[in-house]
Amino acid sequence: MTGPNRTGAASRRQPAPRVVRARTAALAAGPLDVDALLDDSQTHIIVCCGSGGVGKTTASAALALRAAERGRRVCVLTIDPARRLAQSMGLSQLDNTPRPVDGTRSLRGQGSLDAMMLDMKRTFDEVVVAHASPAKAQQILTNPFYLALSSSFAGTQEYMAMEKLGQLHAESAGSGRWDLIVVDTPPSRSAMDFLDAPERLSSLLDGRFIRLLLTPTRGPARIFSSGFGAITSTMSKLLGAQVLADVQTFVAAFDTLFGGFRQRAEATYERLKARGTAFVVVATPEPDALREAAYFVERLTREQMPLAGLVVNRVDPPAASLTAEEALAGAGRLDGADPAQAAVAALLRLHADRMRLQDREAHLQRRFAAAHPSVPSIAVPALPSDVHDLDGLRRVGELLSTGV
């Protein structure tokens, strides 16, 4: 697999290289101490990141619930949760606004949990309404190009997750409603998409093509020269006259908001680098997922972002001490025997397959640890069934705390 882009916003910030130390001890000294991270009153934002399909949403929800039940006032921002997980947190009733989760059991003081699901388009609409005049906002919100951009453009979900994080942090700072925000990053192919989204959206809106479309609204009358007319004629043939007109109208209306988008993206990015933020990288014990995790760890290190550690999710739990070789040898001795012994031989071969799986997973984890010795990690065993209620999330939280 081709590795994700590891430059993005880093190329223009050019931070001095250094190793980012986690809040807990290095791997050689001990595993990731999840409870210490949750109990640290200086931790105000936890970002769960990693490639798609590794269980980030479940881990985010479980961390948020455990923090709330240990006395923190928590808001968890989830992205596209599975139906049963959504139901387990009451998210079937939720939208783009944080709402209380019933059934939490605060063991220390006044802990609470609010949860929300990111609505990408609604968040984009809220930004437009908040930062444009009513007439300009209406012009943007009804524009066909905006409708496509806000609903399906690659990177918009990641950017809107950062916008919403900025909104939640501002609300928390102003009201004290929460003292911890847990963010589940979008299910992107690349773990880096969350960090790179503001830069990509900025590149789109500030690119040469967009600036060319803006020239008729900015330049003097001479801009309508035969040369420019030839360009627009060509673009009309490629895109269609109506599509081109929609894009030009959108860009002209949106241009006044672009500076605010860039400023907020920069502010959120700097907040992610601050002392009160902790990144928890989530992976599974598979080569591609751990490769993505390695890229993310290196990116966080290079950009001096506070890395808490690695969660290796869905690890095959330990089985009996019988090795794969011993199981296969025993199965071989039972071949050709009576049906009962044949059934035992089949079970021994299944056991051998499982032991091989455990050996492979352990090898991958050791290789990651050798390449990143300063990154604390914890292995979380796979559950026999999906999480479908708060008790299931509590169980995941316990496993995040104790490991395999």
C-alpha to C-alpha distance for 250 and 253, rounded to whole angstroms: 5
C-alpha to C-alpha distance for 97 and 126, rounded to whole angstroms: 12
The CATH number given to 10-319+365-402 is 3.40.50.300
Is residue 219 pLDDT above 70, yes or no? no
Q: Are 374 and 353 in contact (CB under 8 A)?
A: no
Token pair in block for residue 25: 């001890």
Give the pLDDT score at 379. Answer: 93
Token pair in block for residue 101: 């989760």
Is residue 195 pLDDT above 50, yes or no? yes
Give the pLDDT score at 185. Answer: 86
Who wins on pLDDT, 166 or 4?
166
- Strand duo 377-381 + 307-315: pairing: parallel
Q: Are 80 and 59 in contact (CB under 8 A)?
A: no
- Give 169's contacts (C-beta < 8 A, 6+ positions apart): 44, 45, 181, 268, 271
Between 243-252, 298-307, 338-347, the lowest mean confidence (pLDDT) is in 243-252
Rounded mean pLDDT of 87-102?
80
Give the pLDDT score at 21. Answer: 35
DSSP string, 312-335: EEEEPPP--S--HHHHHHHHHHHT
DSSP for residue 273: T
Between 75-89, 112-126, 249-263, the lowest mean confidence (pLDDT) is in 249-263
Instruction: Report residue 146's pLDDT band, with 50, 70 and 90 as the boundaries.
Output: confident
Instruction: Report residue 232's pLDDT band, with 50, 70 and 90 as the boundaries.
Output: very low
Who wins on pLDDT, 346 or 259?
346
Instruction: Tell me the percentage of the chain whose pLDDT exceeds 90.
Output: 28
Mean pLDDT of the chain: 77
C-alpha to C-alpha distance for 376 and 22, rounded to whole angstroms: 7
In tens, the pLDDT along 20-44 reads: 333 333 334 358 999 999 999 999 9
C-alpha to C-alpha distance for 401 and 34, rounded to whole angstroms: 5
DSSP for residue 49: E
* Neighbour count for residue 205 (Cβ, 10 Å): 17
Instruction: Report residue 113's pLDDT band, with 50, 70 and 90 as the boundaries.
Output: very high
Give the pLDDT score at 14. Answer: 41
Give the pLDDT score at 378. Answer: 94
DSSP for residue 338: -
Q: State which amino acid sits at residue 333.
A: R
Give the pLDDT score at 209. Answer: 52
Give the pLDDT score at 242. Answer: 64
In tens, the pLDDT along 352-374 reads: 787 888 889 999 999 999 999 99
Rounded mean pLDDT of 399-404?
89
Between 129-133, 250-254, 287-291, 378-382, the lowest mean confidence (pLDDT) is in 250-254
Give the pLDDT score at 154. Answer: 64
Give the pLDDT score at 235. Answer: 41
Q: State which amino acid sits at residue 307.
A: L
DSSP string, 148-179: HHHHH-TTHHHHHHHHHHHHHHHHHHHH---S
In tens, the pLDDT along 50-93 reads: 888 899 999 999 999 999 999 999 999 988 777 777 778 877 66
Instruction: Report residue 205's pLDDT band, with 50, 70 and 90 as the boundaries.
Output: low
DSSP for residue 389: S
Rounded mean pLDDT of 324-340?
71
| Burial (Cβ within 10 Å: 0-12, 13-18, ≥19) of residue 108 | exposed
Give the pLDDT score at 168. Answer: 92
Who wins on pLDDT, 175 or 209?
175
Who wins on pLDDT, 47 or 23?
47
Token pair in block for residue 98: 């944080």
Is residue 386 pLDDT above 50, yes or no? yes
Give the pLDDT score at 269. Answer: 82
Is residue 117 pLDDT above 70, yes or no? yes
Give the pLDDT score at 198. Answer: 67
- What's the Cα-to-Cα distance from 384 to each of 29, 73, 356, rounded to whole Å? 31, 31, 19
Token pair in block for residue 284: 């599974």
Give the pLDDT score at 148. Answer: 80
Give the pLDDT score at 106. Answer: 73
C-alpha to C-alpha distance for 345 and 363, rounded to whole angstroms: 27
Angle at 128 between CA 124 and CA 134, to 5 degrees: 145
In tens, the pLDDT along 295-316 reads: 989 988 888 889 999 999 999 8
Q: State which amino acid sits at residue 106.
A: S
